[in-house]
Chains A and B, each alone.
Chain A
Amino acid sequence: MRYDSITDAIGNTPLVRIDPEVHGLRTIDLYAKLEMLNPFGSLKDRAAWNMARDGLAAARERGETVVELSSGNTAKALALIAGLHGLPFKSVTNRMRIPEIKDLLLLLGAEIEELPGQSECLDPTDTDDPLTLFHQRLNRPGSAHFHTDQYFNARNTEAHATGTGPEIVADLDGRAPDWFIACVGTAGSSTGVARALRVHDPAVRVVGLVGEKADFIPGIRNADEVQQVGLFDPATYDTIETVGADDAIDGMVTLLRRCGLLAGPTGGAAYQGAVRHLRAVEDALGEEPAERRTAVFIVCDRVESYLGYVRQRRPELLGHAPAKNSVATLTDTEARTATVIDVADARKWIAEEDPLVIDLRGPFAYAALHIDGSLNIVDELFDEMLRGGLPFGRRRPVLLACPVGERSARYAALLTRMGHPDARSLAGGIVAWRDAGAPLVRD
């Protein structure tokens, strides 16, 4: 397929059936709308392009910056679209909670402003919400902004009413599905798709999913936060249900490991919420319906940006067996067998036998003050080096130093276990060295 612009490749995403063996629904066919296959990587490509397209030329003439309140995918799409049209892009946000996306946006050339957190000593008269603060910033004199306004812009909804929704109907041979399940963020996709589907069949049931308040799911608002969204209208949904971060990860793992879909947690939440809702529907059925019914959910984006999110909540999903030559494999008893040497003896030893002195602290602390002649190998790097074997010969004695003599003792024990005959740890570390009045230099 040949295109003049990458934006022409937005939309027309596949609708893929989920194997019934995976979801276990007896009478319902479940389909995933793979919005992650849009060129910028998410569902938001449609809204971003539809909101921006007609304003870009004028914005460029006036030298404006494209601005949006976004924590992720909308910002990503707009950053790329802005770059494509020679415009700068800025995201103002109080919700940027995925560090990988933050870094990616910076790589794409976006500027990011994060709004301040809540006051600890509360001033009850200060009730300006982040959206108000954001609009105030945009309306400052001299500000030249093209604000796409995803939470209130009808063109967000329209992108799905004319794109995502009709595509689903076309792929289901001209029929609307019986259920449409969507996570609610800006409410643009759920509202737009629902509108298009109901034109075909007013009986379609729309399930909106919002996040639990205890934790967050990227791209989904919780029950309170959706009320701040201009596009959100509770009447759009037949029911609104909550999903938690655990549901999102469970669903994501199913899509990854059983369905061949590289879905992120938002798609996982949609899958898990869909199956839970539809299973309850089946359980409530008296008898099997005459014909099979269909349901569609949206896979919003891909998994790669969310490894930190998973690591924080389910480290076991990323579990590795510890490497052989690593301090993590040392028992406390082994660690206690390290040879330690106090400051006075260490000074004598350095003068007489010239051991290799390795300072395991960070480079910043080392640059500020260190033992003269010592070599700085930061602990995590040292750990890495030791996995491959001893990085120095056995004949040269080694003195290890860390801030208080604790980590250095573990590494001394590890070096001994690896066959080094004379590895010692500085007792009390650099702190004890300083407190004893021994010289520290910066050079």
Chain B
Amino acid sequence: MSTAGTNTAGTNTAGTNAAGADMPGTGPVGAGPEGADTPGRDPAGTDVAGAAGEPLHLEPRLEQRPAALLEEGGTLLHALVDALGSPLNVVLPDQIAENAERFRAVFRRHRLTGRIFYAHKANRSSALVRRLVTTDAGLDAASLGELQHALASGWTGDRIMTTGPKDPEFLWLAARAGAVVNADGPAEVEQAARLVRAYGLPRLRVVLRLSGFDTSGTTVLSRRSRFGTPARSLKDLLDTVDRHRDAVEPTGVGYHLDTTSLDEKAAALEGCLHAMEELRARDFSPRAVDVGGGFGISYLAHAGQWDRYTTALTQAVMGRRPPMTWDGHGYGLRMENGTLKGALGLYPAHRHLAGAGYLDELLSRPAPTLGGRPLGTLLLEGLHELYAEPGRALTDQCGLTLGRVLDVRAADRGEHLVRLAMNAGDAGLEDHGVLVDPVVLPRDATPTTATGRPAAVHLMGNLCLESDLITRRTVHLPRLPRPGDLLAFPNTAGYCMDFGATHAQRQPVARKVAVHREGESWHWCLDEQYWPITRPGGPRT
């Protein structure tokens, strides 16, 4: 495939054809940044035969770049899947730079300096990592492979944070390269100090990862975490750091909580401010507080659709309407003695507060034990820098996953079974509990009038396995797909693209391409051949 990277596709003509005809029924996809102006498909009043009931759409929130690609790029995307196979992942490197800038704007609004570290684990893409190196962002590497990838993509150690479980090689390379080590506890500090001394490395910067913060007034419970040092053991941790002063320099403290709750994060950040004071009292000179990640994505265009969908799902579980899923799956909900039990095991797909806005809100929260002043103000007043490690939130709108329709057949109850040339591991949306509608990209540019009626479908994967459903949800599409059509799963770049993809049954793993829009045309190259200084598709005159 040595020539593939220089291919150029997506021309004016192709784009225009696709725009008018290839998107029957979906309307213009996602107009504004919030997609708020999108004239959505009317969920009521559209008649679908069968037990699935009225169509309950979950339209994706699509910002300008992915919306334009789906609207104009149908011919290009079909050509790419023809050449590179199904499934195929598409990334939009320019988007991640824009997302980083949104986080930077929140830093500016709170007058804070510091760094936004992209959590590489969200996506293996080279293009995203290489595009971001040209901005002022940092990178959070969680494995030896990610660290090597970052260094080979042009990152220097001063802009890298290493997190997660660390084997000796990972720790050594981080120290060798001058990266910051987000240290899990005393044992890791000692191990790092031994490596620094044994190999004559420069003094290693460490951020101390804390967990289990105390709260004032009420007890705010948090899920048990495998990681970090309990805040109440900080003294012992500092004793360890003190013994290794020559080898390690604590540049700050941080947390990384797996929760959507702002209350828990605000309590942790407040705990970190107290810990910074501890460090200063012990005569260290810490500079930064690390608030980790978990800022989230809002996947859906309309809050109302999400509310209606989840209400209908509850009704279905309670037996008050027909099932909306394969085999009546309840996504964690169940009925016992006429009462709803369990918890909805779904990502909150529509969020009023996500990404940079979530960080803004966290920084605006008051700290009750510190005079009720906002956390951002306290960071600034304490002369602290802010570190953040968004993964999912930085990859918002940065990519999509394409799957070819192989077979469509009618099932009982009026639904259709649609089999795709991909499996559940290739678009990890379901695995992450993210429910969002795919967009149909027809093979042939037929006139919009001949597109047919809305259809309720089940999406089946290519594994010889009962459980290989792309989603267990009955999906309502604007019309029944035909073999040869593509389904585009939107917004998969954050954890839902290659995180869980496997070679099971020797099925192909998706290739990845980076696309770039220039004027009216689209250009692409293989992900591994993307470099930010060269136009994808090579120079043009």
Q: Is A431 an interface residue (CB 8 A)?
A: yes
Verify A120–B260 contact, CB threshold 8 A.
yes
Compute how far the CA of A213 lies from the CA of B313 in the bound complex, rounded to whole angstroms.
Answer: 14
By size class, the interface of chain B is 35 or more
Q: How far is the CA of A247 from the CA of B175 in the complex (A)?
A: 59
Partner of A127, one of B259, B310, B345: B345
Chain A, Cβ-Cβ closest to B215 = A114
Residues 109-146 (chain A) with a chain B CB within 8 angstroms: 111-132
Q: Among the listed A116, A214, A365, which residue makes an inter-chain contact with B381, where contact means beta carbons less than 8 Å apart?
A: A365
A111 lies within 8 A of B219 (CB): yes
> Chain B contacts of A111 at CB under 8 A?
219
What residues on B are CB-neighbors of A362 within 8 Å? 370-371, 373, 377-378, 381
Chain B residues within 8 Å of A114, by CB: 218-221, 263
| A interface majority secondary structure | loop
Total A-B residue pairs with C-beta atoms closer than 8 Å?
143
Say how far A209's CB is from chain B's closest CB, in angstroms.
16
Which of B227-235, B336-344, B520-528 faces chain A? B336-344
Contact A112 B218 (CB under 8 A): yes
Q: Mark A355-366, 1 if CB is under 8 A from B, else 0.
A: 000000111111
Identity of the chain A residue whose Cβ is nearest the Cβ of B337 in the assembled complex: A230
Residues of B with C-beta under 8 A to A129: 341-343
Which one of A117, A214, A229, A430 lies within 8 Å of B260 (CB-CB)?
A117
Q: Kindly identify, within residues 261 to 300 of chain B, every residue whose CB is under 8 Å from any CB belonging to chain A.
A: 261-264, 273, 276-277, 280, 293-294, 296
Is B202 at the interface (CB under 8 A from chain A)? no
Contact code string B354-381 (vs A, CB < 8 Å = 1, else 0): 0000000000000000110100011011
A223 vs B318: C-alpha distance in the bound complex, in angstroms? 12
* Chain A min CB distance to B372 (Å): 9
Residues of A within 8 A of B338 (CB): 233
- Within 8 Å of chain B (Cβ to Cβ): is A25? no
A212 to B377, CA, bound (A): 34
Which residue on chain B has the smallest CB distance to residue A404? B111
Check if A363 sits within 8 Å of B371, measured CB to CB. yes
Considering the complex, which residues of chain A in the window 360-387 have a beta carbon less than 8 Å from any beta carbon of chain B? 361-366, 368-369, 378
Contact between A224 and B314, CB atoms less than 8 A apart: yes
Asked if A228 is at the interface of the complex by the 8 Å CB criterion, the answer is yes
Question: Complex Cα distance A122/B381, Å?
Answer: 35
User: A212 to chain B: which residues have CB within 8 Å?
Assistant: 307
Closest to A132 in B: B341
Q: What is the CA–CA distance of A116 and B223 in the complex, to the nearest angstrom?
A: 6
User: Within 8 Å CB of A402, what residues of B?
Assistant: 381
Select which of B218, B339, B373, B380 is within 8 A of A227 by beta carbon. Answer: B339
Q: Which residue of A lies closest to B371 (CB)?
A: A362
A368 contacts across to B, CB distance below 8 A: 276-277, 280, 382
Within 455-506 of B, Cβ neighbours of A (below 8 Å) are at 495
Q: Given contacts A118-B259, A364-B370, are A227 and B381 in contact (CB under 8 A)? A: no
CB-CB contacts below 8 Å: A62-112 with B: 96, 102-103, 106, 111-112
B433 within 8 A of A: yes
Residue A434 interfacial (CB < 8 Å):
yes
**B281 shortest CB reach to chain A, Å:** 9
Question: Measured between alpha carbons, how far is A351 from B109 in the docked complex, in Å?
Answer: 34
A406→B371 CA distance, assembly (Å): 21
Taking the closest CB of chain B, its distance from the CB of A144, in whole angstroms, is: 18
Q: Compute how far the CA of A50 lies from the CA of B396 in the bound complex, rounded to whole angstroms.
A: 52
Are B258 and A214 in contact, with the CB atoms below 8 A? no
* Residue of A103, A116, A431 ringed by the most chain B CB atoms within 10 A: A116
A117–B267 CA distance with the chains assembled, in angstroms: 13
Please give, as numbers and ranges, the residues of chain B lying within 8 Å of A103 by CB-CB distance: 217
Chain B nearest CB, measured from A186 CB (Å): 12
Bound together, the chains give a CA A114 to CA B219 distance in angstroms of 6
Across the interface, which residues of A come within 8 angstroms of B381, CB to CB? Answer: 361-362, 364-366, 402-403, 430
Say whether A320 faces chain B, with CB atoms less than 8 Å apart: no
User: A113 CA to B217 CA in the complex, in Å?
Assistant: 10
Q: How far is the CB of A65 from chain B (nearest CB, A)?
A: 14
Query: Knowing A114-B263, A362-B370 touch, does A126 contact B345 (C-beta < 8 A)?
Result: yes
B347 at the A interface (CB under 8 A)? yes
CA distance A404 to B218 in the complex (A): 34
Q: How far is the CB of B218 from chain A (nearest CB, A)?
A: 4
Q: In the assembled complex, how far is the CB of residue A335 from the closest CB belonging to chain B, in whole angstroms? A: 15
Q: Does A2 contact B (CB under 8 A)?
A: no
Question: What is the minimal beta-carbon distance from A272 to any residue of chain B, in angstroms?
Answer: 20
Q: Does A442 contact B (CB under 8 A)?
A: yes
CB distance from A309 to the nearest CB of B (A): 16
Chain A proximity of B20: nearest CB distance (Å): 36
- In the bound assembly, the distance between CA atoms of A129 and B495 in angstroms comes to 25
List the A side residues contacting B280 at CB < 8 Å.
368-369, 442
Given contacts A127-B332, A223-B311, 15 further A-B pairs with CB under 8 A are A111-B219, A117-B262, A117-B263, A117-B264, A120-B259, A120-B294, A213-B310, A224-B311, A227-B314, A228-B339, A233-B338, A365-B381, A368-B276, A369-B383, A378-B373
The contact sample of 11 A-B pairs, CB cut-off 8 A, is: A114-B218, A116-B222, A119-B259, A129-B343, A214-B307, A233-B338, A364-B382, A365-B383, A368-B280, A378-B373, A403-B381
A contact set with B: CB distance below 8 Å: 96, 102-103, 106, 111-132, 212-214, 223-224, 227-230, 232-233, 361-366, 368-369, 378, 402-404, 406, 430-431, 434, 442
Give the 8 A-B CB pairs with smallest separation, nearest first: A117-B261, A127-B332, A365-B381, A227-B340, A112-B218, A361-B381, A120-B294, A129-B343
